[in-house]
Amino acid sequence: MNQIEGINIAVLAPVLIINLILIIVAVIDLVRVENTRGPKWLWALIILFVNLIGPILYFIVGRRNN
């Protein structure tokens, strides 16, 4: 992909970092939690590869409370 000109990395960096935090938190939770709705490996894929919506979907749908 071409270089996108005029995009200031300092502006985007915080957003990318908190996005990364969200993914990491979701992965940590997935590892710790005993069982999920649906197979764990599937949630791992969703968290890692569905940008932004993946981790959120996991917390709302995939996580079984208690």
Partner 1 sequence: MMSQWITLLQKELVEMWRNFKWLWVPITFILLGVKEPLTSYYMQPILDALGGLPKGAVIKLPEPSAAEVLVEGLSSYTSIGVLIIVLTTMGIIAGERKSGVAAMILVKPVSFISYVTAKWMGGLILLVFSFFIGYLATWYYTGILFEWISFGDFLHSFLLYSLWLGLILTFTVFCSSLFLVPGTAGFISIATVLIYTLISGTLTKWMKWSPSMLTDYANQLLAGQSLPTAANPAAAITVTATIILLTLSVVVFRKKELAA
Residues that bind partner 1 (CB under 8 A): 1-7, 11-12, 15, 18-19, 21-22, 25-26, 29, 52, 55-56, 59-60, 63, 65-66
Please, what is the minimum distance in Å from the beta carbon of residue 51 to partner 1? 10
Please, what is the minimum distance in Å from the beta carbon of residue 56 to partner 1? 5
Please, what is the minimum distance in Å from the beta carbon of residue 43 to partner 1? 14
Cα–Cα dist 40/59, whole Å:
13
